[in-house]
Amino acid sequence: MQHIFTIDLRIFNDSTPQTYAGIVDSWAAMLMGVLAGSIPWYTMMVLHKKITFLKQVDDTLGVLHTHAVAGLLGGLSAGIFAKPNLVKLFYNSNIYKQGPGLLYSIINTNEEVHVHDGFKQMGYQIVGAMFIAAWNIVVTSLVCIFVSRLVDLKMHEDDLEIGDDAVHGEEAYALWGDGQRHPPTIFRRIATRV
């Protein structure tokens, strides 16, 4: 059985509707876009500050939220919203029976689409996501081990006391003014001299 889920690292990079434009309806693509914009933002801006485990993770750029959460959301959304006739057109094959999205397998009364096919496809989506997560853990660990042989992966204690925001000179995702300081512009300097 050919699967909707493409085992590809871009799944953990982006969950925009364009990634799955061939297998979902336009309303589902728009819903996926709204979810892809709001859920990762919510996990980054709200849950990251409330969950103890996430507070301990040094994720200044929000990589976990923008890639893992959005990618998992995109893969699972494709498994939910994949429309059977679009999947058939997209893969252009009569030999393989691609799994429909879970939603269409539940609401469709067609003899060709069964509920167990939708659950089977969701299983493939989940297994694919677990494979990608395991792959990323292994490869990232190997890269970190290699890089740690060349340079330090952790900042020195003196730099940590100052803070990495001070070392880099900027704060990632400072949407609510979480301590971000802007250097005075030329107009402010001129105004203070006059």
**Least confident segment among 85-89, 138-142, 162-166, 175-179:** 175-179
Q: Is the pTM of this model over 0.75?
A: no
Asked if the model's pLDDT at residue 98 lies above 80, the reply is no
Structure tokens belonging to residue 149: 């042989």
Give Cα 135 distance to the centre of its chain.
15
- Distance in angstroms (rounded) separating the CA atoms of residues 171 and 165: 5
Q: Contact at 8 Å (CB) between 100 and 117? A: yes
Read out DSSP for 15-45? --GGGGTTTB-HHHHHHHHHHHHHHHHHIII
H-assigned helices in 43-110: 48-50, 52-56, 63, 70-81, 84-91, 102-107
Give me the pLDDT at residue 87, please.
78
Burial grade of 113 (CB within 10 A; 0-12, 13-18, 19 or more): buried
| Range 40-45 average pLDDT | 90
What is the percentage of the chain residues whose pLDDT exceeds 70? 66
Single-letter amino acid code for the residue at 21: A
Give me the pLDDT at residue 148, please.
92
H-assigned helices in 108-171: 115-150, 157-162, 164-168
Asked if the model's pLDDT at residue 101 lies above 60, the reply is yes
- Distance in angstroms (rounded) separating the CA atoms of residues 172 and 26: 33
Considering the chain, what is the average pLDDT of its residues? 76
Give me the pLDDT at residue 53, please.
85
